[in-house]
Amino acid sequence: MQVPQDGEDFVGQPWYHGPLSRQKAEDLLQQDGDFLVRASKSRGGHPVISCRWRGSALHFEVLRVALRPRPGRPTALFQLEDERFPSLPALVRSYVIGQRPLSQATGAVASRPVPRQGLIRRSFSEDTLPDGLARTEPLRDRKRSDSQPAGLEHMWRLPEDPPGPGASTVPASGLPRTGSDPVILKTPVPLGSVADSLRASDGQLHAKAPTKPPRTPSLLLSDATGRPPTYCELVPRVLRVQGPPPGHSCPESEVPWWEAEEEKEEDRCFARPQAEVSFCLPDTPSCLLGSQNRPLEPQVLHTLRGLFLEHHPGSTALHLLLVDCQATGVLGVTKAQRGAMGVASGLELLTLPHGHRLRLELLERLETLALAGALAVLGCAGPLEERAAALRGLVELAVALRPGAVGDLPGLAAVMGALLMPQVSRLERTWRHLRRSHTEAALAFEQELKPLMRSLNEGAGECEPGEVALPHVAPAARLLEGEELPGPLDESCERLLSTLHRARQTAQDAPRFREAAARRLRGFRPNPELTEALTTGFLRRLLWGSRGAGAPWATRLEKFQRVLSVLSQRLEPDP
């Protein structure tokens, strides 16, 4: 494959170290301001900026936003925070020369590049492609199309995959990379004949243009090494055509549960509900918490803070959507669960009498996420800028969750619940600093997010499948559990009718919401630690400890509200 024209070739830059593990990168960073750029092995070559700041090694994900190929412009942009650049060297120069922080939340400034030792053997295209896949292709007389990528009709193979039957192993250094076909050449092609067959004047590589890539969704296989991925991205992925290569079969275990095909409607028959169904994940050994933990362990909170800082709000929003879809029963519903509840989706089960357990679980999840979000702000005992940055992070996450973006309305309701919690809203100095230092985020919160959340709670607001992947179900769940609506009688009756109508429409549109959620998560590779940190079971143990997590929900809620009130008073005491 040709070198992508993404502006400047950053492989030749001294600060680019190629494939490098996080631990090795941290060992190279000695002083505050030291930085390097590496290709994350767990993300298949995705660029990450590693920088030491205030004694800690921080890692910042650089998003690669693919563009439609057009003459005279790059094929991709590189994005950090909210800024995009035509090339990675341009991004690095802007932040280093201008001495601007790599993120507002950390304030980390990259000033001294750590030069690499030796040469990078891998090519530019291998390090910058989204999946880091090595691609080789038998040379054929085909003409390269100006509007379509060459060779997209062929399946790619992960670098660790064994060669197909009959294929001979050839050293990579002797293979000219000209396409995306993973077939390994049985005999090396002489470089002289290759050079003679290419005409540099007209740029023709092949005799005919390839067929258009299929419109079917691509299937992204899990990493063949078995190592969990570390970073996630909210950018379009290069398509891989569905179907295994010749002579190979694709095991079902390779398909993530959120991409599994749902049973067709005509293949199902009605089954009388047998019992109430829970979508809560069973208790499993935690990679962040031990078998026994105390509430709010400082080391775990520090790890979680670093974990969330490493991910862009769009990436965190996709993780939250994935966990919310599982908790609501929109994706990953097993055949046994469908048979037990008598319907195909948790959105339908919510409106039925035997959906009582699911309604309570979702209401508890909403409140628990809101408490954890408030703790992220109230737990910042450092300078005022740190609390304002935490507020800004929650606002940016809410913006990423809104309709038209990720479209996770339960997640949006939880984040807004944290921002509107009395213990957080009373922090006048912190909000004043947010409006002064992060004006755009403050305006988005006041002018867009608050009116949107108010309309959603009243049973109105935008909730069309496509714009929304997961609807706001808390008002209907509260109503069906017997909670009274606030406000005057005439207004409460109107809200009651609107909420019931929205719940009925949501149940009818359950298949469309499932399609919208699956479309957003197609090709998504979650970070297992961040995914676990967003589950209800993990948050329950984090906030109340392994012993307190089993107490009644009302008792736990009352105790933690008192904890948040004490933290809020310590940060900004009443006059």
Chain segment 329-358, per-residue pLDDT in tens: 999 888 888 888 888 899 999 999 889 999
pLDDT digits (tens, 9 = 90+) for 69-93: 777 777 888 888 878 888 889 899 8
* Rounded Cα gap, residues 365 and 377, in angstroms: 19
Q: Which stretches of 116-165 are DSSP H helices?
A: 124-128
Find out whether 178 and 138 touch, Cβ atoms under 8 Å.
no
* Rounded Cα gap, residues 512 and 45, in angstroms: 35
Of 423, 443, 422, 421, the closest CA to residue 434 belongs to 443
DSSP secondary structure letters along 70-90: -TTS-SEEEEETTEEESSHHH
Mean pLDDT of 222-231: 40
Find out whether 517 and 406 touch, Cβ atoms under 8 Å.
no
* Whole-structure pTM value: 0.60
pLDDT > 90? residue 225: no
Residue with tokens 């400082």: 298
pLDDT > 60? residue 207: no
Let me know the angle formed at the C-alpha of 305 by 64 and 94, rounded to the nearest 5 degrees.
Answer: 40
| Domain boundaries, position 28 | 22-113
Confidence of residue 288 (pLDDT cuts 50, 70, 90): confident
Q: What's the number of CA atoms in the CB half-sphere (13 Å) around residue 228?
A: 9
3-state secondary structure of 416: helix
At residue 341, the pLDDT reads: 85
Whether 101 is in a domain gets the answer yes
Confidence of residue 492 (pLDDT cuts 50, 70, 90): confident
Paired sense of beta strands 34-40 and 63-66, if any: unpaired
Mean pLDDT of 430-457: 93
Whether 131 is in a domain gets the answer no
The total of structural domains in the chain comes to 2
What is the percentage of the chain residues whose pLDDT exceeds 70?
69
Measure CA 132 to chain center: 18
Confidence of residue 275 (pLDDT cuts 50, 70, 90): low
At residue 87, the pLDDT reads: 87
* Rounded Cα gap, residues 244 and 437, in angstroms: 52
Q: Between the CA of residue 46 and those of 13, 52, 158, 312, 421, what are the distances in Å?
A: 16, 20, 15, 14, 38
* Rounded Cα gap, residues 203 and 147, in angstroms: 14
At residue 317, the pLDDT reads: 95
At residue 338, the pLDDT reads: 85
At residue 255, the pLDDT reads: 66
Whether 507 is in a domain gets the answer yes
Among residues 113, 137, 168, the one where a domain terminates is 113
Mean pLDDT of 98-124: 78
pLDDT digits (tens, 9 = 90+) for 22-64: 888 899 999 999 999 998 776 666 789 999 998 888 988 888 8
Whether 534 is in a domain gets the answer yes
3-state secondary structure of 60: strand
Whether 452 is in a domain gets the answer yes
At residue 274, the pLDDT reads: 62
At residue 243, the pLDDT reads: 37
At residue 222, the pLDDT reads: 38
For residue 306, the domain's CATH number is: 1.10.840.10
Whether 313 is in a domain gets the answer yes
Rounded to the nearest integer, the mean pLDDT of the chain is 76
From the CB of residue 563, how many other CB atoms can be counted at a distance below 10 Å? 17
pLDDT digits (tens, 9 = 90+) for 390-419: 999 999 999 999 999 999 999 999 999 999
* Rounded Cα gap, residues 422 and 99, in angstroms: 37
Here the tokens at position 322 are: 């994935």
* Rounded Cα gap, residues 374 and 247, in angstroms: 54
3-state secondary structure of 66: strand
* Rounded Cα gap, residues 2 and 71, in angstroms: 16
Whether 331 is in a domain gets the answer yes
pLDDT digits (tens, 9 = 90+) for 154-200: 333 333 444 444 443 334 334 444 443 443 433 444 434 433 443 33
Among residues 64, 81, 113, the one where a domain terminates is 113
Whether 391 is in a domain gets the answer yes
Across 152-156, 304-308, 511-515, 567-571, least confident range: 152-156
Among residues 113, 131, 164, the one where a domain terminates is 113
For residue 52, the domain's CATH number is: 3.30.505.10
3-state secondary structure of 450: helix
Q: Name, of 42-51, 135-144, 357-366, the range with top average pLDDT.
A: 357-366
3-state secondary structure of 59: strand
pLDDT digits (tens, 9 = 90+) for 541-575: 999 999 999 899 999 999 999 999 999 999 999 87
Q: Angle of helix 553-571 relative to helix 356-378, nearest 10 degrees?
A: 20
3-state secondary structure of 56: strand
pLDDT > 70? residue 520: yes
Q: Name, of 4-13, 46-55, 483-492, the range with top average pLDDT.
A: 46-55
Task: Using CB atoms within 10 Å of the CB of residue 353, give its burial: 0 to 12 exposed, 13 to 18 middle, 19+ buried.
Answer: exposed
Find out whether 362 and 411 touch, Cβ atoms under 8 Å.
no
Mean pLDDT of 305-326: 92
Confidence of residue 206 (pLDDT cuts 50, 70, 90): very low
At residue 264, the pLDDT reads: 52
At residue 432, the pLDDT reads: 94
3-state helix, strand, coil split of the chain in percent (to 5) is 45, 10, 50
